[in-house]
Structure 1
Amino acid sequence: MDVGVNPFPITFAVHFLGITAIAMVLVWTIHYLGGLAWNSPDKSLLFNVHPVLMLIGLVVIGGEAIISYKSFPLEKEVKKVIHLVLHAIALVLGIVGIYAVFLFHNEKHIANLYSFHSWIGIAAIVLYGVQWIYGFVMFMYPGGDPALRRVSLPWHILFGLLVYMMVVAAAILGFLEKMTFLEESGLAKFGSEAYLVNFTSVVTVLFAALVVFCAITKPPAPAFDDYAPI
């Protein structure tokens, strides 16, 4: 259901929160956790690739893809391409991020897929891929029958938002899981790193909430009647 509020001012807040979340996760992984590296004797640097790519990819770029129809004053077909490309970039970064954590677990002889964070994360990226493929085939190429597209559109939007909420839930659970491990290893519960990660989670939730709100808003004016899928 569309809410009759102009979404364009909201998109600026979304962009700001997205940039803030990226900056915070980079400060955490580089300043507090020692940096990022694909090949290093210190395998924790390989793990650090995981939260960075998942947040930048599926959360932030994925959120920007969702609101791309509301963010850019362009032709609908151009916005459709932007929407598709941003989701593709998000999906690729998410896959690489998951591959990085699997490599880390295998290098450290840690079990894979044992936590709820990992379960919901795998489910989210699989469904994200299904959503992207369906959107490409139905709305881009070769394109479904117009009647079928009209029927599919509301469900495509709803499913997209549900998958995105799974992505954000997985991210928050990931922050919580990592902080639990760090605190068990001696990290101060009220130290600067703990506060940074907690506030990164808060910013991520606010970002996602505004993405969803922006996605369901629609100016009550004829000029903005033609909105495309999420």
Structure 2
Amino acid sequence: MAGAVKATPLTFVVHVLAVVAAVMVLVWCISFRGGLAWDSSNKGLIFNIHPVLMLIGFIILGGEAIVSYKSLPFKKEVKKVIHLVLHAIALILGIVGISAAFKFHNESSILNLYSLHSWLGIGIIVLYGIQWIYGLIIFFYPGGNPALKAESLPWHILFGIFVYVLAIANAAIGFLEKLTFLETAGLAKFGPEAFLVNFTAIATVLYGTFVLFTVYARKEQEPDEYSYSVIESRDV
């Protein structure tokens, strides 16, 4: 039955928005902000790693991990592996992206963890890690019994969506915060860079929105394997 699942127009829109958002953040950080570097006398290049990895590595790959489980025409076990691996990569890149922000602050003599964006960011990455570890243990390896999986699945999905929505919202806050700093430092409020940052934020929000649309469009299309296992065990 998993083989019958196929891509939908919503899935196509998700992928297009992912490419658009990724290109826009790269153009911003490379063309307007000077590029990316882990070590540089220009500390702004260190910071540029943060929005690139948080958007492309964390939010886009995290969204693709969610969509992959709902749209790929593979068996559930294969989709589980893809889902798990994409989320793991997203988590690792998110941690590196946050580390880049701390490195930028430390080398620029800027205080850490003073803004709402930073507070939410730390909380989100911790919750994301907990969600990944729980999914690994309960649904993949060593794996819980069918009854535990059936009871956990709705909460796993709900918690995952909650964390992902928080990540999208915090990304928008981050774009706003950075743009505010740049405009305070003299960036033209109606200049091309300001428009690019705002449109990148809009593309990010739209991407997250269509990821959620894809999830709920598929919600009733696939039977819950764990529920079937529980029903069968009760009938024996």
Q: TM-score, normalised by structure 1?
A: 0.93
Output aligned runs, 1:1-230, within 5 Å: 8-218=8-218, 224-226=222-224
Give the Cα–Cα distance (whole angstroms) in 2 for the partners of residues 47 and 194 of structure 1.
Answer: 17
Give the Cα–Cα distance (whole angstroms) in 1 for the partners of residues 7 and 153 of structure 2.
Answer: 20
Asked if structure 2 preserves the Cα contact closer than 8 Å seen for 1:7 and 1:217, the reply is no
AA matched with 1:81: V
Task: Quote how far apart the aligned CAs of 1:71 are.
Answer: 2.5
AA matched with 1:197: V
Q: TM-score, normalised by structure 2?
A: 0.90
Give the Cα–Cα distance (whole angstroms) in 1 for the partners of residues 181 and 64 of structure 2.
Answer: 31
| Distance change in 2, residues 1:227/1:188 (3 Å) | farther
Asked if structure 2 preserves the Cα contact closer than 8 Å seen for 1:105 and 1:111, the reply is yes
| Distance change in 2, residues 1:209/1:41 (3 Å) | same
Give the Cα–Cα distance (whole angstroms) in 1 for the partners of residues 220 and 202 of structure 2.
Answer: 31
CA RMSD of aligned residues (A): 1.5
SS in structure 1 at match of 2:61: helix
Where do 5+ consecutive residues of structure 1 fail to align? 1-5
AA matched with 2:213: F
Give the Cα–Cα distance (whole angstroms) in 2 for the partners of residues 220 and 163 of structure 1.
Answer: 22
Task: Quote how far apart the aligned CAs of 1:225 are.
Answer: 2.9
AA matched with 2:23: A
Structure 1 residues 181-203: Cα deviation after superposition (integer angstroms, max 9, x where no partner): 00001100000000000000111
Where do 5+ consecutive residues of structure 2 fail to align? 1-5, 227-236
Partner of 1:3: none
Structure 1 residues 6-40: Cα deviation after superposition (integer angstroms, max 9, x where no partner): 97221110000001100000000000000000111
Give the Cα–Cα distance (whole angstroms) in 2 for the partners of residues 42 and 93 of structure 1.
Answer: 22
Structure number with greater Rg is 2
| Distance change in 2, residues 1:203/1:227 (3 Å) | farther
Asked if structure 2 preserves the Cα contact closer than 8 Å seen for 1:49 and 1:100, the reply is yes
Give aligned pairs, total: 221
Task: Quote how far apart the aligned CAs of 1:70 are.
Answer: 2.2
Q: Which has the higher contact order (CA 8 A, sep 6+)?
A: 1
SS in structure 1 at match of 2:217: coil
| Distance change in 2, residues 1:131/1:220 (3 Å) | closer
AA matched with 1:140: F
Task: Quote how far apart the aligned CAs of 1:169 are.
Answer: 1.2
Asked if structure 1 preserves the Cα contact closer than 8 Å seen for 2:7 and 2:72, the reply is no
Task: Quote how far apart the aligned CAs of 1:57 are.
Answer: 1.5
Task: Quote how far apart the aligned CAs of 1:125 are.
Answer: 0.4
Asked if structure 2 preserves the Cα contact closer than 8 Å seen for 1:7 and 1:218, the reply is no
